[in-house]
Amino acid sequence: MVKVDRLVIPRVSPGDGQRSGPASGRGVGRARRTLLARLALVVSAGLVLYWSGPPRDLWWLAPLAVAGFVLAVRRIRARAGFGYGLLFGLAYTLPLLGWLLDFLGAQFGPWPWLGVCLVESLFFGLAGAGAARVSRLPGAPLWQAAVFLTAEVLRSSLPFGGFPWGRLAFTQTGGVLLPLASLGGTALVGLGAALVGAGLAETLVRLPWFRRDVAARSGRERRSTGRGRLFVVPLCAVLVPVLGGLAVLPTVGATASSDTATVAAVQGSAPNVGLDLLYRDRQLRLNHIRAARRLADDVAAGRVRRPDFVLLPEQVGSWGPERRDPALRRIAERIGSPVIVGGLAYGPDGRLSNRIVRWGPETGASGEYVKQHLVPFAEKIPLRSVAGAVSPFVRRFQQDMVAGDEPGLLRAGSVRLGVGICYDVAYDDVFRQAARAGANLFALPTNNAWYGHSEMSHQQLAMARLRAVEHGRSMVVAATTGVSAVVRPDGSVKRRTEQFTAETVVSEVPLRSSNTVATFLGRYVTWLVSALGVGAVLTTSLRRYRDRAVEPVR
């Protein structure tokens, strides 16, 4: 039962609610300045987060961006936090996904780009609302970091299968937090970066000059607290992830291996004509067939060591249910090694899929992988009746492609090749499944030819580098127009190409069969972080409900 002390109805004079004067004016001016400061801070933080990512190697900016985000939403209402988070998301995603404008802008205008950025920014709005709610809890940096990552997990799942592009972990491929990927995957790396940022923000607000300024502006007396105790929580938030990354660093990529493989990644290139290349599949295929033939000539002449397999990019081939491709088979026979190539293929049921097919020198098409994560509005078309206004793929594909559900594992001699296709690399499950199925080397065929000289390929390469560390395996990337690369198990890039050049990379890589902690436990780390974020928000909601229930009415 709610106890009611007494109900007092105040007298209202004609001037009440319309007070004016110096004090009132100063209050309005202070509120306006605070609003503008928060707006400037949150937009700057979003831009800084974008600037921290590839192709720039400014990983240390990402925690600073999170710090700005946390400061902007600190101790405000959840609705205001949502608005600030939305602005943060727009400031981040608009430049991050600028390659969508390069790809679709000429035919469809800015609307597809703006629409995707707005939808993605809604999840940053949720992060802002949640971070604002938990900012009053003890140990706030941990809960704020968990809320940020929880919104990221939601963004990676919803809608239409999610869009994990631009996850916080993908900004850390050159930093001290990257080794954490071997323990907990993208979730742990992202949590570490967010925790450092939230800890920096909390350290700032506990500095004496900051607390005096806040107390003066609020008109409240500042209570003294033991100065040393004030900084224990925020400094732990900053130091624990950094020290953890440094502690794990010596183990990353250090597993002994006596087996190696020679790999060849073919980048045949294509004209930089953007969306028009969508209708020039034959030229894309011919460029790569010619490049593969040149490789076969070099191998036959002894100029290049014979590779254990040759990797061609995504969408180089096109096959019916019978899987006939004399050109690929002749190349495999001449080199004497399997050719792994991506293409569009019809199954016996007439359904289309995006596949990787292994062409053996003697067996022909003898192994396949079907892409698991299809790109919304491209390989699968939700809302098909209206999607034609924003996607060129509606007219090209009259039916949705079929998604695969099996791990990608192809054999080439002693190589057990774990494969994913393009967009697959943004998701946690594809290469985890391949590693657990026994892969000792990873491969990523991809087609980035539509996006010009944008940052898209560099962003994708950063994801490949993180997956290499996450599971302790080398990664071979073959892109139609770049960037193709060979990535070591420690995430460093051994060889890479430039964009829009015809080039073949031949390199020796180690084969690793041992699994990391993240291979087995990575998904549970994601669940735990999400549970922490949701639990923290629910705790604040419960506390508010309880406080309202017992609050006396006066």
DSSP conformational letter for 308: S
Return the HEC string of 202-243.
HHHHCCHHHHHHHHHHHCCCCCCCCHHHHCHHHHHHHHHHHH
Interatomic CA distance for residues 311 and 305, integer angstroms: 15
Instruction: Name, in order, each residue with C-beta under 8 angstroms of 190's C-beta and a sequence gap of 6 or more.
Output: 148, 149, 152, 167, 168, 169, 172
Sign, Cα dihedral of 477, 483, 488, 489: negative
Instruction: Name, in order, each residue with C-beta under 8 angstroms of 302's C-beta and a sequence gap of 6 or more.
Output: none
Catalytic residue among 117, 152, 202, 371: 371
Interatomic CA distance for residues 84 and 104, integer angstroms: 29
DSSP labels, 17-37: T---SHHHHHHHHHHHHHHHH
Catalytic residue among 152, 314, 368, 470: 314
- What SS3 state is found at 370? strand
**pTM over cut 0.75:** yes
Segments making up each domain of the chain, as ranges: 31-252+525-550, 260-513
Q: Based on the residue annotation, tell me whether 117 is a catalytic residue of this protein.
A: no
Q: Does domain 260-513 have CATH number 1.10.132.10?
A: no
pLDDT at residue 431, rounded to an integer: 98
Q: Based on the residue annotation, tell me whether 314 is a catalytic residue of this protein.
A: yes
**Phi and psi at residue 95, to the nearest 5°:** -75, -35
Q: Of all helices (H) and strands (E), which one includes residue 445?
A: strand 441-446
Q: Which residues of 245-281 are buried (b: 16+ CB within 10 A; e: fewer)?
A: beebbeebbeeeeeeebbbbbbbbbbeeebbebeeee
- In a structure prediction context, what are the per-residue pLDDT tens digits for the chain, which is 554 residues long? 444 444 344 444 444 444 455 556 666 778 888 899 999 999 999 999 999 999 999 999 999 999 999 999 999 999 999 999 999 999 999 999 999 998 998 889 999 999 999 999 999 999 999 999 999 999 999 999 999 999 999 999 999 999 999 999 999 999 999 999 999 999 999 999 999 999 999 999 998 866 655 555 555 545 555 566 778 989 999 999 999 999 999 999 887 677 999 999 999 999 988 877 877 888 999 999 999 999 999 999 999 999 999 999 999 999 999 889 999 999 999 999 999 999 999 999 999 999 999 999 988 899 999 999 999 999 999 988 888 888 888 888 878 999 999 999 999 999 999 999 999 999 999 999 999 999 999 999 999 998 989 999 999 999 999 999 999 999 999 999 989 999 999 999 999 999 999 999 999 999 999 999 999 999 999 999 999 999 999 999 887 767 666 555 55
Q: Give me the amino acid identity at 6.
A: R
pLDDT at residue 8, rounded to an integer: 42
Catalytic residue among 117, 380, 422, 470: 422
Instruction: Name, in order, each residue with C-beta under 8 angstroms of 248's C-beta and a sequence gap of 6 or more.
Output: 179, 180, 182, 183
| Long-range Cβ pairs for the range 239-247 (8 Å, 24+) | 240/195, 241/177, 241/180, 241/191, 241/192, 241/193, 241/195, 241/196, 242/176, 242/177, 242/192, 242/196, 244/180, 244/192, 245/175, 245/176, 245/177, 245/178, 245/179, 245/180, 245/192, 246/176, 246/179
Q: Based on the residue annotation, tell me whether 422 is a catalytic residue of this protein.
A: yes
Instruction: Name, in order, each residue with C-beta under 8 angstroms of 53's C-beta and a sequence gap of 6 or more.
Output: 62, 96, 166, 170, 171, 459, 462
Interatomic CA distance for residues 383 and 394, integer angstroms: 10
